[in-house]
Structure 1
Amino acid sequence: MFATVLLVMLPFVWFGMVTAISFIETPLKFKAPGMTHALGVGIGRLVFKVLNIVEAALSVLIIGAWTQQQGLVTMPAGILLAIAAAALALQMLVLRPAMGQRTKALSDTALTHTGSTAVKAKVATATHVSYIVSEMLKVAALPLAGILIVLELAA
């Protein structure tokens, strides 16, 4: 029964976390009064590192629950969950490390400037766009997977 609850709940929890952080908090952070680009990037590095760790834990819990309740995860739901997990793996193993090197260099550069000197960076690098696309994949796949699991449970 606990595995069933996890399979129903966790895709929606994961979806909510990604939506709240990636598509609400992150863009708004840079509009806050007094927020510098370097500070926003530094906060983002920390937040996304922790978010990815929590997402990985959720992914492991979902996979564990799936092994206990295999009948609830149909092929389409399984594909959607696999897409979310693959997007997360791409982020953690390839995209975030590459972005981390760049944002660390940006932060280090910003710290060497004083006064009103603004340090701006081109945000829309290919890596950054790829990260956003991978977030969009998760935001599309997770609630659909959750809905399919709920429908299978109700059947």
Structure 2
Amino acid sequence: MMTVIDPVLIVLTFLWIGFVCAISFMEAGLKFRAPGVTIPVGLSIGRVVFGALNKVEWVLAAAIVLNYVLFHHVYSWNMAWIAGAILILKIQTLWMLPALSQRAKNISEGVSLPPSSLHRYYLLLEVSKVAILFVYGVHLFH
């Protein structure tokens, strides 16, 4: 029989995964396929949506850490998984999102920019973060 270590952690973890998958893997590309959405409009929407996603991710990460602090009192190996996800989130928040946002703003204003791999790196980190969170979530079941 399978048991659940902490149902709140499971909900928070899979909610986090759901947000990232819905926005990063679905919305990001679909918005440009909608009729009438120009590249500047799509980039503007993306800046707003990814900014909001980032805030939601920080709330979920904080709720998970707070749950450990308040109820578990012992930092188990499971915290290493969350620490990895938070490290990725920190890199995205402090470096990648500001750089991508500025790039989107410049493109929207008509500035010609050379190609960049930043989007691919961001996507690679999103996949890594989801994988880390998934492994962590599965380990919350016995």
Q: TM-score, normalised by structure 2?
A: 0.86
* Structure ranking higher on relative contact order (CA contacts 8 Å, 6+ apart): 2
Kindly tell me the number of residue pairs found equivalent between the two proteins: 137
Is the 1:41–1:103 Cα contact (8 Å) retained in structure 2?
yes
The aligned residue for residue 27 of structure 1 is 29
Q: CA deviation at 1:129?
A: 1.6
Say which one has the larger Rg.
1
Percent identity between the aligned chains?
36
Say whether residues 1:149 and 2:140 are aligned partners.
yes
Pairwise CA RMSD of aligned residues?
Answer: 2.2
Unaligned runs of 5+ in 1: 111-119
Distance 1:88 1:38 in 2: 26
> Which 4+ stretches in 1 moved above 4 angstroms?
none
Deviation string for 1:25-61 (max 9, x for gaps)? 1111111122111111110000000100110011000
Deviation string for 1:85-117 (max 9, x for gaps)? 11110000010111111111111228xxxxxxx
Q: CA deviation at 1:6?
A: 2.3
Distance 1:121 1:14 in 2: 33
More displaced stretch, 101-110 vs 23-32: 101-110
Unaligned runs of 5+ in 2: 1-5
Q: TM-score, normalised by structure 1?
A: 0.80
